[in-house]
Amino acid sequence: MKNEKVIQNYYKSQVLRCMVACLIFICAFQGFSQNIPSVRSEVDTTSIKIGEQINFKVTVEADSTAQVIFPEGQTFSPLETVEAFATDTTKKSDRYTLQKIYALTQFDSGSYKLPAQRIEIDGKGYFTDSLEIEVANIPVDTLAQKMYDIKPLMEVQKSNTQFWKILLGILIGLVVLGGLIYWFFFRKKPLTEAEKEALLPPYDRALLELKKLENSKYLIQDEYKEYYTELTAIVRSYLEEDAHVSALESTTDELITKLEMLKDAGELKLDHDTLHQFKRILQTADLVKFAKSKPDTTVAEQDRKSIEQIVIKTHDALPEPTEEELMEQEEYLEELARKQQRKKWVLTAGIAVGAILIAIVSLAAYYGPGYVWDTVTGNASKRLLEKEWVSSSYGYPPIDLETPEVLVRQNIKLPPEAKANIQELQTFIYQNDATLLTIATTSTTFAQPVEPDHEKTIEQLLKNFEKKGAKNIITKQEEFSTITGVKGIKTYGSGKFKVPDSSKLVTGKYVILSFGGKGFQQQVLLTWQEDDTYAQEIVDRILKTVEVKTEA
């Protein structure tokens, strides 16, 4: 009995140990499983019509401390992302449930694969399931609604908005420049006191200056030399202007002698006492200026009054000007006015030309001389490059690209031998003879689902170059990929091309892009002049925008 109890106790202890071990394992497993994040995805529908939307929902369960990053941008290609809604977060104990919804769509019918999306949680990637989405065409009831032919291309009048903006800017600039020229050169400015005095007749000006001398402070400040210097200068200037005597450069004796000669000739009716008094004042002035003599203040004031009387008597003694003299004086004044007007116009023209030259030099320094010259002369290629471009789709299967001008559909008649192999040929072209720029697209649908012979088509295009007068054609070839990764063949090179309506040959370049699949072929042709940098920029920009469909 004792042994049986020992055995029973042993088995009980072993069972108890196993239960404890299992309990510890379960708890540990539960704790570990709670740390593993989970990612689920679903869509509200797997079948839509063209343009309809599906909601792709991603649900992530993770710890509250986990950092979760959802996909952004166009990662759902070939489906397009319409909108990514805000993340919805809910908390359950120490875990978060994050839910993100994306609105997706597609505008072409077919079966599309929604690729698996990478969800990054704490730096580690977790992927959603990929799904098949069916996009169906919208059926058209041709019985209830009539079908119409495609309308022909319409000529649209080119907008002149840009031209009028430029013209308005030029007019505003001219108005501003004209206003500045008028304000600074032609406007009658208010005269200063000095200018008003200068316009007075010699007699009135002399009396006014003598009056100012009377009110001066020369005598109060014992500045006799300055006083007599100004006094004699006033009378000498008056005699030179009104009596036409060279008085400013004459000595006292020479001036008195000239006045006496005029008196004797009857041209100046002055009495002997006036001349004697005038001589005395001049001699006093010489003594003050050169001998530092200092007369009494009363003498200086009296001399000023005497000079004023001499000016008055001289003015009265002068003979009246004859009619011929008055006419000569009027003609002289008119000629002087015309000279001043011509000076103004020359100065104005100089300023305008200088402003234009400064503007041209500044622009040339900033943009380069070639760019400024092409802008002034209206380079055709530059205008094409800088205008608003057009993005369009041409032919079927479609070729998408951006061009400076819309390509025009060409009516091409297939030869009888080609009709057996070609079901439809659609060609669109833009040609600019001024820049020798050609942009063309061709979409060909074959009668049978066969692969296109690109080499044969390219060879035919090069032969067409030669038929049109091209020579020395150099050809290179490489692989070309569109933005979305569609691969094709790029054939390019250079040669001597004939200028339209001329026998002249210029060096040009060309590019031929060839794409296609079973039953169809797509080609893009570009030609331009080699030394035309703007045309090269146009071609480079076009090549960056080329896109084609991979299926007919």
Max intra-chain CA distance, the chain = 184
List, in sequence order, every beta strand (DSSP E) within 298-436.
Answer: 390-394, 399-403, 408-410, 422-432
Please, are residues 443 and 512 in contact by the beta-carbon 8 Å criterion?
A: no
218 or 484, higher pLDDT: 218
Show Cβ contacts of residue 272 under 8 Å, excluding neighbours closer than 6 positions. none
CA 539 to chain centre: 22
Alpha-carbon dihedral angle through residues 395, 400, 401, 402, given to the nearest 10 degrees: 90
pLDDT at 33 over 60: no
Residue 366 pLDDT? 57
| DSSP per residue, 334-367 | HHHHHHHHHHHHHHHHHHHHHHHHHHHHHHHHHH
Structure tokens at 542: 């076009």
Helices (H) and strands (E) in the chain, counts: 14, 21
514: nearest Cα among 415, 399, 413: 399
Structure tokens at 498: 């004939």
Architecture per CATH, 380-548: 3-Layer(aba) Sandwich (3.40)
Distance CA 319, CA 313 (A): 12
Please identify which residue in the block is written with the tokens 């942009």: 439
Q: How many CB atoms lie within 10 A of CB 485?
A: 7
Residue 233 pLDDT? 92
Amino acid at 166: I
Architecture per CATH, 193-319: Up-down Bundle (1.20)
Q: What is the topology classification, in CATH, of domain 38-136?
A: Immunoglobulin-like (2.60.40)
pLDDT level of residue 44 (50, 70, 90 thresholds): very high
pLDDT at 14 over 70: no
Please identify which residue in the block is written with the tokens 């090269």: 536
What does the pLDDT look like over 158-187, one tens digit per residue?
555 655 666 677 778 778 877 777 777 666
Distance CA 18, CA 21 (A): 5
Residue 410 pLDDT? 84
Residue 21 pLDDT? 45
For the chain, how many residues are written? 552
Task: Give 183's DSSP letter.
Answer: I
What does the pLDDT look like over 486-529, one tens digit per residue?
888 899 888 888 777 777 888 888 899 988 888 888 889 988 88
Distance CA 170, CA 163 (A): 11
Residue 550 pLDDT? 63
Please give the average per-residue pLDDT across 63-75, as a whole number.
83
Amino acid at 98: L
Give me the phi and psi of 550, to 5 degrees please: -90, -10
Share of residues in the chain with pLDDT > 90 (%): 5
pLDDT level of residue 42 (50, 70, 90 thresholds): very high
pLDDT at 22 over 50: no
Please, are residues 511 and 543 in contact by the beta-carbon 8 Å criterion?
A: yes
Please identify which residue in the block is written with the tokens 């031998």: 417
Residue 528 pLDDT? 87
Q: How many CB atoms lie within 10 A of CB 258?
A: 17
User: 3-class secondary structure for 290-348?
Assistant: HCCCCCCHHHHHHHHHHHHHHHHHHHHHCCCCCHHHHHHHHHHHHHHHHHHHHHHHHHH
Alpha-carbon dihedral angle through residues 262, 266, 269, 273, given to the nearest 10 degrees: 60
Show Cβ contacts of residue 97 under 8 Å, excluding neighbours closer than 6 positions. 59, 60, 61, 89, 90, 91
Residue 149 pLDDT? 64
- The verdict on whether omega for the bond into residue 369 sits within 30 degrees of 0, i.e. cis, is no
**Bridge-partner residues for 505, per DSSP?**
498
Helix (H) or strand (E) holding 114: strand 110-114
